[in-house]
Structure 1
Amino acid sequence: MKIQTPWIWLVVVLTICLTALFYVSQKPQVAVYSQYVKSLCDYQFADASLMRSMERVRSGYEVDSAVVLAQMMTLREVALSFDAGIQKLEQTGFSTPPASSVSHFKSSVLAKVSCLHRYLSERSAWIDELENVYRLMEMGPSDVDLALVRKLDSARAGYAVLPDGLVLPEAFNKRVETLFQKNLDLFDAWNQFNNDKTLSASDELLHFFQMENVKEISLSAKIPLAFYFLSLVLLLATFFFIFKSKQ
């Protein structure tokens, strides 16, 4: 008995489908997306750690500047490597977040690192000058206005204060006025990076990769079922093909 062409095509189509399923199952989407999720989580942890260090810098506590600079460079490298990684990911056919989101994240991180670097240098110099003023006050007259001391302490803590209504010692009044003015500038600089801009940008990217990860995990769970079903159909079709060929 002659084999009808549709049966041959059925076997061919089933074989192609099984091959395609096998190919899809071998693509490492889940591992790749999980890697980016981990990378963004690590970034957020590093960002929080750096800001804790900067809080100590702001308050004048002794901090190893080399460690803080290394933390800044870590954030910078993460932003640059993330941008480069997304470009490679797009070239290999993986789903990627919008280019605008990636660009916003990169530019936000680089701008923040630049501001942090400048703030670290200027705040450290300001703290040194404040210590010099404290020493001058200790060596000067004993009737130094306590309100001045309290305001200087508040400025050291990072608050925006003005020397309004204070009696400044003539010996170093210019230095004190300069300290207060510089502290206002540093207060404004602090507010430029002490916000959730970079965290919001990273959260947006993190959400994208988490959702892609969930999709791939869900798809991966369905592939074995489809594979078993098509294998069974192919097996039955093959048996039928052999049976018909012997008739």
Structure 2
Amino acid sequence: MKIQTPWIWLVVVLTICLTALFYVSQKPQVAVYSQYVKSLCDYQFADASLMRSMERVRSGNGVDSAIVLSQMMALREVALSFDAGIQKLEQAGFSAPPAASVSLFKSSVLAKVSCLQRYLSERMAWHAELGKVYRLMEMNPSDVGLPLMRKLDSARAGYAVVPDDLVLPESINKRVESLFQKNVDLYEAWNQFDNDKTLSVSDELLHFFQMENLKEISLSEKVPLAFYFLSLVLLLATFFFIFKSKQ
């Protein structure tokens, strides 16, 4: 009996489908997306750690500026490497988040790091000047009132303090006024980066990769079932092909 052409095509199509399934199963999408999920989680942890350090800088609680700077550089490096990684991801044919979101994340992080660097140097200089004022006040304790001490302590903690109608000693008048004004400027600078802007952008990117990861996990669970089913069909088709060829 002559074998009909459709049976041959069935075997060919099944073979191609199995090859395609094998190729899909070998692509490391899950591992790649998991890597980006981990990278963004590490970024959020590093950002939170840096802001805790900046809180100590703000209040002058003996923080090592070199350590804080290294934390800033680590955050900056994450943003740059993430942007470069997304470009490679697109070139490799993987799903990638919108370019606008990636660009916003990068620019937000770089802008935040730049603001933090300026704040660090200016706040530490402010605390150094405050220390000089405290020493001058210790030399003339009779000229210093309790309201002034309270306001200076509040400014040291990072609050925006206005001297108002305080009577300042002539020996430290200009220095104290300058301290209060600079503290207000630093308070406003703090509010520019102490927000959830970079966190919200990173959350969007994190959500994207988590969803892609779940899709790939779901797909990877279905691939073996489809592979077994097509293998069984191919096996039956092959047996039928052999059986017909012998007739």
TM-score where L is the length of structure 2: 0.99
Matched residue type, 1:131: G
Q: Give the corresponding residue for 2:53.
A: 53
Contact 2:33 2:212 in 1 (8 A): yes
| Equivalent residue runs for 1:97-246 within 5 Å | 97-246=97-246
Distance across 1 between alignment mates of 2:124 and 2:107: 26
Q: Mean alpha-carbon deviation: is it higher for 136-145 or for 184-193?
A: 136-145
Matched residue type, 2:146: L
Matched residue type, 1:111: A
Q: Secondary structure at the match of 2:142?
A: coil
Distance across 2 between alignment mates of 1:141 and 1:81: 54
Distance across 2 between alignment mates of 1:240 and 1:197: 64
Where has structure 1 moved over 3 Å in runs of 4 or more?
Answer: none
Deviation at 1:168, TM superposition (A): 0.3
Distance across 1 between alignment mates of 2:125 and 2:88: 43
Q: Secondary structure at the match of 1:93?
A: coil
Q: Give the corresponding residue for 1:72.
A: 72
TM-score where L is the length of structure 1: 0.99
Distance across 2 between alignment mates of 1:123 and 1:174: 19
Q: Secondary structure at the match of 2:158?
A: coil
Matched residue type, 1:18: L
Unaligned runs of 5+ in 2: none
Distance across 2 between alignment mates of 1:65 and 1:165: 35
Q: Give the corresponding residue for 1:5.
A: 5
Distance across 1 between alignment mates of 2:84 and 2:212: 19
Contact 2:163 2:177 in 1 (8 A): yes
CA RMSD of aligned residues (A): 0.5
Deviation at 1:143, TM superposition (A): 3.9
Deviation at 1:141, TM superposition (A): 4.2
What's the CA shift string for 1:82-129, capped at 9, x where partnerless? Answer: 000000000110000000000000000000000000000000000000
| Percent of paired sites with the same residue | 87
Unaligned runs of 5+ in 1: none
Deviation at 1:142, TM superposition (A): 1.6
What's the CA shift string for 1:47-100, capped at 9, x where partnerless? Answer: 000000000000011011110000000000000000000000001100000000
* Alignment: residue pair count: 247
